Amino acid sequence: MLKTDHGKPSTSWVRASVPSTPEILSPREHSSANSPHSQETVITTPQSTSVDISTLESVMEDDPESFDLLPPSLPHQTEVNVLEKKAEQVFSQAHLQAIFDNPKQLREFIGSLNQRRPQSIPILVYYLDALKALRAIRYSNAVAEALEFNAKLPLTQGRVPPTRNPVLEEKASQAFNLLVDELPGYIVHVWTKIMRQSALNSITQRTEGAPSNNLAEAFCLADPSRADTPLVFISEEFARMTQYSPSFLIGKNCRFLQGPATNKATDAAKRRMAEACSCSKEITELVLNFRRDGSPFMNLITIAPLVDSRGALKYFLGVATDVSHLLATTTGLGPLHSPNDKKRDELRGLSEMLTATEQETVRRFAGRMHTTTTTNTTTTITTYPSDYEIESELSTPISSCSSENLSLPKEPTSPTLSHLGIFDQYLLIRPSPSLRILFTSPTLRVPGILQSPFLSRIGGSDSVRTSLSDAFTQGRGITAKVKWLTRPRPGSSGMKHRWIRCVPLLNAAGVVGVWIIIVVDDDSCVAVRAFKDPPPVDNVIGKGKVDCDDEGKAAGVGHIALQFAG
């Protein structure tokens, strides 16, 4: 079925989503308001913040000492203050402490750290060992505090002072402060997975009845070869999200979106992005940005370098996603504060940190002095499931801490192949009529793909390529399910079923300057071969006489053997 961004469904199986948001001010030369394929919209003038009408109800009481017609106004709390306050809570030490007090969240934090920043694992190991020692001290203090006074024993008089280790506490505090810097990366990791799944569902329409909201289509392209790395191309969704027209955005560095408000997390994110750009590395960060009307939004921004066939940096691709709704509800992050409504069991806190080996030792020997009889049985060492297992024996080097003995999810750890952003497969192609592939994501970069015609990778019927070509010519965004050729036509060896989402990026005049194509593998289909499988061959060919009662079958097998020999 075919859908374009501005047309009704046709009988073809290719489709395209209909934008539910208005477009930017700039008209295009290749479309008009009267065309069924046009995308003409207007960004309205920013409006001032309205007052809640419910607070303007008249005062009905007849008080001779009052001159008020309305109830007194409550302290005004702007949207900026709400988002900033929420961001401070999410990136705070209290949140990280709540993660360490929640075994499930701690496991996810360890998995994220092992995937994104394996070099920080030694800090985590040191802190957990120090925390275990401190909890052991707290438990010993709890036992000492419970010592009972006996009047017949003078030595029981007086209170036993608690044990402290200030040096250990200071070192644990320093390690904890270093781990606080890893908290933004963990939040990025969690929210990226959520938004990736939502974006992929939006492209493949796997969520029934889901609206077409142009999710994760806010793209921009910056040129590092020019002064201050200005924006040179943007998508319509980027203009809609920021409420600025292309003529205003093009030529400016996107830092102006940061606005006057600042916080420590945003400042640290800006430093990390600057370092990543200087090293031409991909990075995803959370930054508080502001629209044209002054309203804030939490931006999940991915910056990816685009290099040519020789590896030289040409442009930076930016993917912006508004995740303010995730920040407001702290989706996927668990509680932001540790529970303090009940006294924590010191023994439980210590036992939660025991490794599998320590658990086995406790299981074998715990309570022997309180047992009257002993049964000699063969003990089988069993690894008990735990929320995290980090072995830090002195004889074990820290480099041996892999995902296996960390008990982490099996996820890729390669910075090149891991999911750093919402999309891990994308192409950038020239506008029509060229449609040559200029840049690709690392996952799609195979020999010969750069500078090859994009349509040469599309298999199936000619009507599919014709529909795509028409959309590129008219500058219409389109989504299609295609048969992706692993090699350019003709003579391709195989095909893969994939979804593609094609989004135009515009220049200051509103003309398409480049296309970005998001590629999504269709998990419901398996790869198909472009040719038929050969007939089965007997495994005794070439090893001796063929034992076959039917002379015709034997002759057929011999013919196949001659084909392979020739």
- The single-letter code of the amino acid at 372 is T
Burial (CB < 10 A; 0-12, 13-18, 19+), residue 394, is: exposed
Q: Does residue 144 fall inside a structural domain?
A: yes
| One domain, residues 512 and 546 | no
- For tokens 């025991």, the residue is 354
Q: Does residue 505 fall inside a structural domain?
A: yes
Residues near 161 by Cβ (< 8 Å), separated by ≥ 6?
none
| One domain, residues 167 and 89 | yes
Tell me the residue range of the domain where 99 lies: 85-188+340-366+384-400
Mean pLDDT, rounded, of the chain = 73
Asked whether the predicted pLDDT for residue 266 surpasses 70, the reply is: yes
- Collapsed DSSP state (helix, strand, coil) of residue 463: helix
Q: Where are the alpha helices (DSSP H) in 243-382?
A: 246-249, 264-278, 324-329, 346-351, 356-365
| One domain, residues 507 and 560 | no
| One domain, residues 233 and 316 | yes
| One domain, residues 395 and 444 | no
pLDDT digits (tens, 9 = 90+) for 343-357: 566 666 666 667 777
DSSP-derived letter for residue 413 is -
Give the CATH number, domain containing residue 496: 3.30.450.20
Domain end point (choices 284, 309, 329): 329
Residue 191 vs residue 150, higher pLDDT? 191
Q: Does residue 76 fall inside a structural domain?
A: no
| One domain, residues 564 and 504 | no
Look up residue 424 and give its two tokens: 């891990």
Q: Does residue 193 fall inside a structural domain?
A: no
Asked whether the predicted pLDDT for residue 33 surpasses 60, the reply is: no
| One domain, residues 234 and 282 | yes
Phi-psi label, residue 249: left if phi above 0, alpha if psi -120 to 50, beta otherwise: alpha
pLDDT digits (tens, 9 = 90+) for 442-495: 989 888 899 999 999 998 888 889 999 999 999 999 999 999 987 776 555 567
Asked whether the predicted pLDDT for residue 374 surpasses 70, the reply is: no
Q: Which of 445, 444, 530 is nearest to 485 (CA)?
A: 530
Q: Which of 289, 94, 326, 373 is nearest to 195 (CA)?
A: 326
pLDDT digits (tens, 9 = 90+) for 58-107: 767 777 777 777 777 655 455 557 888 888 889 999 999 999 888 888 88
Look up residue 146 and give its two tokens: 């419970």
Q: Does residue 543 fall inside a structural domain?
A: yes
Measured on CA atoms in the order 337, 340, 346, 352, is the torsion positive or negative? negative
Q: Where are the alpha helices (DSSP H) in 70-182?
A: 79-90, 93-100, 103-116, 121-145, 166-180
d(CA 546, CA 556): 11
| One domain, residues 395 and 324 | no
Look up residue 385 and give its two tokens: 């499931």
pLDDT digits (tens, 9 = 90+) for 549-563: 444 444 443 333 333
Q: How many domains does the chain have?
A: 4
Asked whether the predicted pLDDT for residue 234 surpasses 90, the reply is: yes
pLDDT digits (tens, 9 = 90+) for 109-130: 998 898 888 899 999 999 999 9
What are the phi and psi torsion angles at 256 (to 5°)? -65, -15
d(CA 266, CA 350): 36
- The single-letter code of the amino acid at 466 is T
Q: Does residue 249 fall inside a structural domain?
A: yes
Q: Does residue 276 fall inside a structural domain?
A: yes
| One domain, residues 297 and 360 | no
pLDDT digits (tens, 9 = 90+) for 127-156: 999 988 988 888 888 888 878 777 678 777
| One domain, residues 524 and 544 | no
| One domain, residues 219 and 323 | yes
Q: Does residue 273 fall inside a structural domain?
A: yes
| One domain, residues 121 and 171 | yes
